[in-house]
Chains A and B, each alone.
Chain A
Amino acid sequence: MSGFILETEGLTKEFRGFVAVKNVSLKVRRGSTHALIGPNGAGKTTCFNLLTKFLPPSAGRIVYNGRDITREKPSSIARLGLVRSFQISAVFPHLSVLENVRIALQRQRGFSFDFWRAEGVLAEYNDRAAELLEAVGLQEYVAHTAAELPYGRKRALELATTLALDPAMLLLDEPTAGMGHEDVGRIMELIGRVAKDRTVLMVEHNMTVVSTLAHTITVLARGEVLAEGDYATVSKNPDVIQAYMGTANA
């Protein structure tokens, strides 16, 4: 197997003539933490949606673990171990915190179409769910409804749910967006911990997070790759500075 877990070749997405992502060739090294940054409208989230198959690409190829996944369904991608989070916190608001995590765990049962069976059969997952919630510091909240959690805690819950699938690769869409200062610290620490034995690809605006966690950074601007490298290289790149500050300041 190659050193890259995820590779794209000439990935392009057009919306009625507007090219949101243009010819992006991305290589994510196995076990690394890779950040995708860029000014607003650079195509980061579109790129994410392409990788997780929530959008079909107009052109290009996506290879995950040596397997062409360009034409796969979003639900199959998850089963291959490539699991995403969302920009707006994606929890199941009216389920309890524990049930949120258990939904992910119960997928191990295969397709649960057993509508004749009692919910009690899911009890075997309770301990694992509690463990995952402890790991993200939500042990006091297990019986709460997910909707009752403050924003930062919801993101932690989302992360616990994602980790329940034990994915080989995590795609995090702005994991710290809209968070208060202390929550950012907590989530950053958490991502750092889970990234030790996984590949993480994240879109992130917070440069502290990016500089601390990411091994490699890809900068997107107007749908195209502008620069790539570690934080020190990328932050000195004149094109990157111009893209962020605009021509007037260049």
Chain B
Amino acid sequence: MATVTAGEIRAATHEGLPRQQVVAFVIMVGALVAAPFFFYPVFLMKVLCFALFACAFNLLIGYVGLLSFGHAAYFGMGSYVAAHAAKVWGLPTELAILAGTAVAGVLGVVFGWLAIKRQGIYFAMITLALAQMVFFFSLQAPFTGGEDGIQSVPRGHLFGVIDLRSDLAMYFFVLAIFLMGFLFIYRVIHSPFGQVLKAIRENEARATSLGYRPDHYKLTAFVLSATLAGLAGATKAIVFQLASLTDVHWSMSGEVVLMTLVGGLGTVFGPVVGALTIVTMQNYLASFGAWVTVIQGVIFIVCVMAFRRGVIGEIANVLKKPL
């Protein structure tokens, strides 16, 4: 009987870093390092914050198959807490961001624990309902400033040394956060834990029958995703020196779905491309006013009809390699 060779095992386990992903990563980092010298840094920081948000969301839908329709709650809470911590408590910038991230994580534990008890559309509805509760909380709670939000949040000094009022310094700080988040997610989906997540996404009943408890894995993934969404929101609050109701509004939850879909669900680079596409459109088409949403809607429909795998998903399909 023929035996299995080491080469076949390597092919079967996708051992080592796939070359195309390394190349794509180098291109991405190169472009992001060069970008602030050609484009407006604040615009780029917005792209990076949303890219991290979309990557966090993608961890859940792309690798566990859970559609959360309430990710604005974690993004927005991260944003509010970081803004409050920096402005009212006077915490240093990095600690304010960590505080926002931590609160989003805790919220993720509670909401995730409630939501994963249901599946499919019910899961999505529970996450939406909980996120709406956070929205009304944010509208009413005294510390959020209601309709005004928390304005003129100080950017402060990074580690007490680097003045973040400079857009360029702030940009590279945000880039570092984004890359850490991005690489963290890459590690998660390529860990033993990530393998079980994929198995649960593919066939939950089978994973259960092999002795795994899907709920525990789903909850862990949910909390990781919520925490990273909080990190994105907290960073955004510092960049724009503003936390507002927009961050917790349900349309924010919708936007992150759109970004991930346009870029490619379950791809490593898709959410980044999706965020870039959507944020660019919002910025450069702003002169069209209310038409931006209509144009976004059309793009969404085209995406679903013509290239369902998203930009990166389609490219990966042509290359027959994961991206």
B residues within 8 Å of A by Cβ?
Answer: 1-4, 8-9, 11-15, 187-188, 190-196, 198-199, 202-203, 205-214, 216-217, 220, 224
Contact = CB atoms under 8 A, between A and B. Distances in A.
A50 interface: no
A142 B4 contact: yes
B3 A139 contact: yes
A196 interface: no
A84 B207 CA distance: 11
Given A96-B12, A143-B12, A134 B195 contact: no
A103 B199 contact: yes
A122 B15 CA distance: 10
Interface residues of A, number: 52
A120 interface: yes
A235 to B, nearest CB: 32
Interface string A52-95: 10100000000000000000011110110001111000111111
Interface of A: 52, 54, 73-76, 78-79, 83-86, 90-99, 102-104, 106-107, 109, 111-123, 126-127, 130, 133-134, 139-140, 142-143, 161, 165
B213 A73 contact: yes
Nearest to A120: B15
Most buried by A among B1, B12, B196, B203: B12
A98 to B, nearest CB: 4
B211 A142 contact: no
Helix, strand, loop or mixed for chain B's interface? helix
B13 to A, nearest CB: 6
B210 A103 contact: yes
Contacts of A115: 187-188, 191, 193-194, 220, 224
Contact of A79 (B188, B211, B216, B217): B211
B196 A103 contact: yes
Given A90-B205, A91-B203, A92-B198, A78 B210 contact: yes
A13 B208 CA distance: 21
Given A74-B208, A86-B209, A95-B198, A142 B187 contact: no
Given A106-B195, A117-B191, A134-B4, A98 B207 contact: no
Nearest to A146: B202
Given A90-B209, A142-B12, A165-B211, 8 more contacts: A74-B209, A84-B209, A86-B206, A98-B9, A112-B193, A115-B187, A117-B191, A142-B9
